Amino acid sequence: MNRLTRAFIAAVAVAGSFASNAQDKAWRNIDRPPEEAICFTLYTVHDGTLKLTAQLYPLADDVGRSADLQIERDGRWVTMARVNVDDSSYGGPLEDFGRWTAHFRVNDWDHSRDWNYRVVAAGGEAEYGGVIRKDPVDQTEIVVASLSCNSNEDHGPRADIVDNLLAQDPDLLFFGGDQVYDHRFHLQSWLAFGRQFGELTRNRPTVTIPDDHDVGQGNLWGQGGVRSSTKGGEDGGYIMDPRYVNSVQLAQTWHLPDAYDPTPIHQDIGVYYTSLRVGSIDFAIIEDRKFKTGPKGVLAPLVRKAGRVDEVTEDQAFDPTRVDVPEAELLGDRQLAFLRHWGQDWTGVEMKAVLSQTIFGHIGQLSGPWIGPGGKDFDPQGGGKLVMDFDSNGWPQTGRNEALAEIRRCFAVMLCGDQHLPTVAHLGINDFRDAGVAFASPAIMNVWPRRWAPFAERSAGDHPDPLIGDYVDGFGNKISMMAYANATVQPRRDDPSTYGGLAEGYGLVRFNTETRTITMQCWPRWIDVTSADAWQYEHWPLTVTQREQYGREPIAYLPVIEIAGVDEPVVQVIHSASGELLYTKRWAESTVSAHTFIEGEHTVRIGEQPDQMVEISGLMSSRVKDERLIRVDMDDAQPWPAEALLK
């Protein structure tokens, strides 16, 4: 029996269990004997520090609370850390339940080799282990699996996805949010998530970031942690007990590298935005919900429940600038400062990427299950029409553009989920494609399909698919759609063959540091990737370049710099009069022909970070490529005026 057949049989079994799942809630039964006390683990290693979380089932009162992290060295198990299992209350609707997590931190970790590890708990009766992988710094390709939206309609196994990813063997797992949909049962549903994906997470670094459903909300505008006073949260803030929110975050994000600025927000809710290096790829992990302004508070007459504007769908005269509130925040000042700092640090880094919950634009113009007349027929053009979805990062426009401006300064691609709508879009600020590319992965399981069905006419493009090309969304944002997969059938959980038609699955992203390219793949559910006839969604795979992540057209060029002593130098270009840092990037060769977007005098910092950078000032831009040559020898590194170096 091949893997695809096994997966299909499992799907049928799961489909048959939906009714019983809904009735007896068997997944909520989290009682386990002591020897099965450990459900799954999550870990990352960054800057020599290993952080690992073991998620346990509840322990009986007479079972020991200590847990050990051990590694196998020279044929014997050595204890690296011992902690007490956190059994403090989850808070809120899980007041009577503990967190049941064990958090391990080991500094000075040897990341140059694989290590077998195990967690021992429950008085020594429970053991659970895997492999802490070495840092893949010697690989020219780093592979990232991108997943999100793990519907609670099915708490059963995800055998097809797990088998495929075991075969594809990514270097990093990224779960971009909505790992859990059971708003009042995060612990129970999180344990179900661990049973589904633990075979993957035990052996490779994993990023899990909570989105709105994880913290018990249908939509989330965190507004710096204030308490929401509306059922839908559209006034801004959190609906649930802040202790519950913190419990969710500790379960899903404690194992991430330490937060850039760990200062809690309102209600003492923690933050986790940070960065993670895997090989020579540097990932910024941001929280695009936590500081975002609630739309109802600043646009009360216009925004209805759930933060949507659909009553103006047919109003062609509606001016989207009416809802662009400059003081409304998206990432907030703290995260913008983080992105500015992160984008300039290229120590050991060749390419950068941003991991977030949702895409920076409104791409789901049709939203809902689309039941036709009489509740029988599927209408792919029906459903709720949304001209503006404030839950997307298309709003607030000013905050969106500020974030994109920081992200493009370091030529970072963006990976996200949330939309239940796989897309690749090249985003624009002032012009089409002047920022970077964003890949929104499919939903793992899609019970609320959305469709890319823009109301506006295509601005430009000659692709035979009329939905590929340049479009303006309802907020006036520029979006150049490169790939999409709309749901084409109505959800039928009794028929696993409908999964592909629901645009479900996962993304796989391949970063190639030799060619400086990013190849995005989009795999449906119930496809055996090892099969010769395995297929991806139409328009995929798709490859973009690092250079395209700052797609703005240059207007001028600087003199060529030839540097000795560094093969692939880090280059920073600064406009002298304004002091604006235009961009930072590691060049692919030792001869640098830098471009600029502003005429006049510039300063270039070039070399190797952190302490081998030389500054060259007084470089004048030219409308044509400047053939004058500047030679810099890192053995004689010092600040130089351009006129002293021009040859």
Residue 304 DSSP one-character state: B
> Per-residue pLDDT averaged across 524-553, rounded?
94
Average pLDDT of the chain is 89
List pLDDT tens digits, range 1-35: 344 333 333 333 333 333 334 434 788 899 999 99
- Tens-place pLDDT, residues 214-252: 999 999 999 999 999 988 898 999 999 999 999 999 999
Q: Which residue in 217, 401, 390, 388 sits closest to 297, CA to CA?
A: 390
pLDDT tens digit sequence for 345-386:
999 999 999 999 999 999 998 887 654 444 445 555 556 777
Q: What are phi and psi of 397, to 5 degrees?
A: -60, -45
Most distant pair of Cα atoms in the chain: their distance: 80
* CATH topology match: 31-132 vs 141-550: no
Please state which architecture CATH assigns to domain 556-644. Sandwich (2.60)
Tokens encoding 562: 């030839």
Question: Residue 500 pLDDT > 80, yes or no?
Answer: no
Model confidence at 498, in pLDDT bands (50, 70, 90)?
low
Minimal CA–CA distance to 480: which of 429, 516, 405? 429
pTM: 0.93
* Topology adopted by domain 141-550: Purple Acid Phosphatase; chain A, domain 2 (3.60.21)
Q: Structural domain boundaries of the chain?
A: 31-132, 141-550, 556-644
Provide the pairing of β-strand 450-451 with 366-367.
antiparallel
pLDDT digits (tens, 9 = 90+) for 114-129: 999 999 999 999 999 9
pLDDT band for position 449 (cuts 50, 70, 90): confident
| Exposed/middle/buried for residue 538 (C-beta within 10 Å: 0-12, 13-18, 19+) | exposed
Tokens representing residue 629 in the block: 């040559």
Please tell me the chain's helix, strand, coil percentages from 3-state DSSP, rounded to the nearest 5: 20, 35, 45
- Tokens 């692709």, residue located: 463
* CA–CA gap between residue 34 and residue 62 (Å, rounded): 10
Q: Which CATH number fits domain 31-132: 2.40.10.340, 3.40.50.920, 3.40.630.40, 2.60.40.730?
A: 2.60.40.730
Q: How many CB atoms sit inside 10 A of residue 53's CB? A: 25
Least Cα distance to 296 among 380, 192, 219 occurs for: 219
Q: How far apart are CA 422 and CA 399, in angstroms?
A: 24
Does the pLDDT at position 614 exceed 70?
A: yes
CB 85, CB 55: distance < 8 Å: no
CA distances to 47, 549, 603, 623, 641 from 619, rounded to whole Å, are 36, 25, 6, 13, 8
Looking at residue 18, what is its pLDDT? Answer: 35
